[in-house]
A and B are shown apart, each in its own frame.
Chain A
Amino acid sequence: MPYNIESATLGAVSLALDAASLRHQAISSNIANAGTPGYRPVAVSFEEHLGALRAALSSRGTVDASLLAASSARVEREPEKAGGTEEASRVAVDEQVAQLSQNAVHYQALLRALNKQYSILSIAINEGKR
C-alpha cells in the first residue's frame, strides 16, 4: 500500500506488522486446537521470502518501494506425517507460547519504531513547536 511520505520505511514496517499479526493468529489457533486429535499446526513464513529486499537493503541502504508490494506473509500448515497415528495433536504448547511472546515483542518494537518515525516527521513539519 503506497505511503506518500517515506514510502520505503513505512511500507516495510507496515508489511512486517501485517506478518506479525497474522503470526499471532496462527499461534493462537495452534494453542486453541492443542487438544484436537490429528490437528496439524500452522506457521507463518515471511522473513524467508525477502531475499531480494534484503539484498537491496545491504547494497543501497534502502529497500525498493516497488518490491514491497510483491511480498506478503504466507500461512503454511505442517505436512501430513506418512503413516502417523491420528491420536494426539502435534502442538507443543510451551513452544507456541514462547513464540507468541517473541512475536509480541517484535510487534511492539515495530510499533515503537513507527511512532518515532512519525514524530521525527512531525518535528520537521511543526518547526520544533509541539
Chain B
Amino acid sequence: MDYRSAFQISASGMTVEKLRVDVTAVNLANVHSTKGADGKLFRPMRVVSHESVGFAATMRHMGFSAALPGAAVASVESVDAPPRMVQDPGNPQADEKGFVAYPGINQVNEMVTLMTAVRAYEANVIAMNVAKTLAVKALEIGGNS
C-alpha cells in the first residue's frame, strides 16, 4: 500500500476544507462591517479549489497507467458581490442619499458552505484513518507464524 500518497491526498483534502471553514468564518464575522482593511467596502472571499496537476505527473512517472488525480489545492479570491444598501440617514457613514453600504454576504449560503465543508472534512478524516488501518495490517503479514 503506498501509504504516503494516500495520506498526502487525504491531508490536502482536509487542508482545503479547513481553509473553506476559515474563509466562511471571516465572511460571517464581517457581515456588518462597512470598511475593509484597505478603507473600501469589505469584499467577501471564496475558496476555489482544483486538482494539483504536478501530483498526477508524479503518479504517472511511478508507473501507474493512467493519471490518478492527486490532491486538491485551493486559493482564496474575492467575490464581486453587489453591496447591500440599508437606508440609515443618521449613520455617520451614510452617503449623500442616506444609504449605508454593507458587504453583499448571503448568510444562508455561507452557513450551507460551512456545513458541507465540515462534512467533507469528516469524510477526509475517515479516509485517512482507513488508510492507516490498512497500512498497519499490511505490516503484520507473517507475524503470527
> How many residues in A have their beta carbons less than 8 Å from beta carbons of B?
38
Q: A32 touching B134 by the CB < 8 A rule? A: no
Which residues of chain B have C-beta atoms less than 8 A from A114's C-beta?
141
In the assembled complex, which residues on chain A have CB atoms less than 8 Å from the CB atom of B2?
Answer: 21, 25
CB nearest neighbor in B for A76: B66
Is A2 located at the chain interface by the 8 A CB criterion? no
A75 to B17, CA, bound (A): 25
Q: Are B133 and A32 in contact (CB under 8 A)?
A: no
The total of Cβ contacts below 8 Å across the A-B interface reads 122
In the bound complex, what is the Cα–Cα distance between A32 and B117 (angstroms)? 11
Contact between A28 and B131 (Cβ–Cβ < 8 Å)? yes
Q: Which of B27-81 contact A (CB under 8 A)?
A: 48-51, 64-72
A42-B69, A104-B134 in contact; A28/B9 too (CB < 8 A)?
Answer: yes
Query: Is A27 an interface residue when CB atoms closer than 8 A count as contact?
Result: yes
Contact status of A75 and B65, CB under 8 A, knowing A25-B2, A32-B16, A93-B119: yes
Interchain CB contact (< 8 A) of B13 among A22, A28, A122: A28
Q: Is B24 an interface residue (CB 8 A)?
A: no
- A31 and B10 form a contact (CB under 8 A): yes
Dominant SS among interface residues on chain A:
helix
Given contacts A31-B124, A34-B120, A35-B16, contact A74 B66 (CB under 8 A): yes
A34 neighbours in B (Cβ, 8 Å): 13, 120, 123
Nearest residue, chain B, Cβ from A126: B145
Per-position binary interface string of chain A over residues 83-112, scored 1 when its CB falls under 8 Å from any chain B CB and 0 otherwise: 000000000010011001100100110010
Are B9 and A32 neighbours in the complex by a CB distance under 8 Å?
A: yes
Say yes or no: is B97 at the interface (Cβ < 8 Å to chain A): no
| CA–CA, A33 and B12, complex, Å | 9
- Residue numbers in B under 8 Å from A59 (CB-CB): none
- Give me the 5 closest cross-chain CB pairs, A-B, nearest first: A32-B13, A28-B127, A75-B66, A21-B1, A36-B49
Residues of chain B having any CB pair with chain A under 8 Å: 1-2, 5-6, 9-10, 12-14, 16-17, 20, 48-51, 64-72, 116-117, 119-120, 123-124, 126-128, 130-131, 133-134, 137-138, 140-145
Given contacts A24-B1, A35-B120, 4 further A-B contacts (CB under 8 A): A21-B2, A32-B16, A36-B50, A93-B120
Interface, chain A (partner B; CB < 8 A): 17, 21-22, 24-29, 31-37, 39, 42, 72, 74-77, 93, 96-97, 100-101, 104, 107-108, 111, 114-115, 118-119, 122, 130
